Amino acid sequence: EAGFVASANVYGAAVGALCAVGLVRVVPWRPFAAVALLLLIGIDIGSSLLRDLNLLIATRALHGFVGGALVGVSYGIFSRTKSPDRTFGMLLVVQFGLGGLGTMFLPRLVPVFGTGALFYALAAFSLLALLLLPFLSDYPLEQEAKEKAARPRMQWGPLALSLGAVFLFQLANMALAAYVIELGRRHGLSTEFASAAVGASSWVSIIGAVLVVVLGVGMGRWRPLMIGMTLAVVGTIAFHWSADPIVYVIANCITGSAWSFIIAYLLGMVAEFDRGGRSAAAAGFISKMGLATGPFIAGVVLENQTYALLINASAVALVLSAAAMAWPALLSDRKRASE
């Protein structure tokens, strides 16, 4: 039942993110965000009171839709900042940090307060975001539109490759991440150890996002992306030796850090194709589709419990992603060097 509820939320978020592609240049983003956050708070509080499964599934699908649209529009606004890469990096720092706190404390609250504690926690985060909203800059579209008029036409080929790289990268990582604890168990590790290793790696993964915030695009994008992708592939292949607890922990830390490092640069690169925000909003949708597709494909691969095949398939998808992002990253660096 929990799986149906979670899936409804994910699919709703994907539809919302797709709608954001058309909304980001049309709606005034601050009022839109305020209304969306109020809706999310109301839906979360309402969800805590529901007992009917079908009604809860529909409600969480609506929550996903509103949240997906809000995230998509937010991605579009990120593209209007001076350094989208750093902005996405900071987003991931907050995301991994709060995610780690949630992993630590929420499972302990549920036995005491029931599943309603999860929804109240989500409502609290939305309330915090609503309170911070007035302190954000305006990031108007008008200036961005003027800048766009002075630029050459959209480079659709590099944009398509970049979006393909986002999809493959998220698919590859999530395919393995969804089953990484079970993978450890299959290699003889205890559930407690595997869970602790994954939890610890989520905190270590913040390092990748912090590096993006510190480095920005001072080194360009091609070099950091290729270094990060090399580490991601090596870390993924290392899961073949998960029977060794040290290798398992290191593999989780490397892949997690590379994940937060690379996706920030990827989203920043996509954002530069259209500072109005549509390409970044599209990347949000593509990212969600990759995250949703990865576990589905992994489930098919694992019908025969072939974890070695899953590891190899994830590594191949990462290599294809690296190939797709290489040319757009080079073009981005050359354009930046000529400015």
> What is residue 153's predicted lDDT score, i.e. its pLDDT?
62
| Nearest partner of 17 among 88, 67, 80, judged by Cα | 67
Long-range CB pairs of 321-324 (<8 Å, 24+ gap) are: 321/164, 321/165, 321/168, 321/169, 321/172, 321/229, 322/165, 322/225, 322/226, 322/229, 322/233, 324/161, 324/162, 324/164, 324/165, 324/168
pTM: 0.86
Q: Which fold has domain 156-338?
A: Growth Hormone; Chain: A; (1.20.1250)
In this predicted model, what pLDDT tens digit does every residue of 57-105 receive, in sequence order? 999 999 999 999 999 999 999 988 889 999 999 999 988 888 777 766 7
> What is residue 150's predicted lDDT score, i.e. its pLDDT?
47
| Nearest partner of 205 among 173, 182, 175, 179, judged by Cα | 173
| Nearest partner of 228 among 244, 246, 205, judged by Cα | 205
| Nearest partner of 261 among 219, 206, 315, judged by Cα | 206
Work out whether the CA dihedral 249, 256, 128, 36 comes out positive or negative: negative
Burial group, residue 37, by CB count within 10 angstroms (0-12, 13-18, 19+): buried
Tokens 């986002």 sit at which residue? 166
Over the chain (339 residues), the average pLDDT of each successive run of 10 is 72 92 92 98 95 91 96 93 92 84 72 84 94 91 52 76 97 93 93 87 92 93 97 98 96 96 95 85 92 88 86 97 97 86
